[in-house]
Amino acid sequence: MLAAQVLHLKYKFSSAIVFLAEHFQPLVATSFFAALAELVIVENLNIRTPFPTLLSLSSRLGLHTHVCLMTRQHGYSCVQLECTIFSLADAQTRPWGIEIPGQCPQCGSISAWKKASLTNGPGVVKYAYSCQFSQCGTEQRLDPYKVIITKPPGVLVNAARTSSCGWFQSPSSFFAELSPPSKGKRKTGALIGSSAPKKARKGR
């Protein structure tokens, strides 16, 4: 059965979901799978339509893993694989799906970061997080540690519960269909466009 599914995924699948956690725990996705079965398998909806809503049913899922949705898209001349990554986003701890350190790397403090928007309004494109420990950097004669997060390409999906917390959808990557092997060589899919959340960078 598993082998059949693998073969189906390898050669002729219509969609697939990849959980990017290194040690994925399926228990956190129970609500997600139940709603997925109802809307996609029973009601036969296009999986891309209800997908953000399905993700929002389980906040624990987003705390555990990023999720990649892969679907086949029929273009004019070929079939493409569309891959879209969804990440849980929270303005205080995971802006736009990018995790900020739980501990200050300079002083070791586990106090919450002090957040400040570097641009105001709904079009915020950058956040600065400062260590709140009053002695941070004193021994090293440095400024308090600061992390700056710049908004990557993408949007908070409509199913987001608040303006600052929800699922962040990165722009899709498209891969052309694999060509059949010829003369012992195997061609690989062509990357047309790509994006994914980047890691936080240090700033001062």
Interface residue list for Zn ion (CB under 5 A): 104, 106-107, 109, 131, 133, 136, 145
Least distance to Zn ion from the beta carbon of 103, Å? 9
Q: Which is nearer to Zn ion, 88 or 104 (CB)?
A: 104
CA distances from 137 to 17, 59, 145 (A): 44, 35, 7
Residue with smaller CB distance to Zn ion, 73 or 103 = 103
CB of 144 to Zn ion, least distance (A): 6
Return the number of the residue (145 or 175) whose C-beta is nearest Zn ion: 145
Q: Which of 162, 197, 63 is nearest to 55 (CA)?
A: 63
Closest C-alpha to 70, from 48, 45, 54: 48
Task: Tell me the backbone φ, ψ of residue 64, rounded to 5 degrees.
Answer: -95, -35
| Alpha carbons 189 and 122: distance in angstroms, whole number | 37
Closest distance of CB 131 from Zn ion, Å:
3
**Exposure of 54 by Cβ count < 10 A (0-12 exposed, 13-18 middle, 19+ buried)?**
buried
Nearer to Zn ion, 29 or 107 (CB): 107
SS3 category, 26: helix
CB of 197 to Zn ion, least distance (A): 24
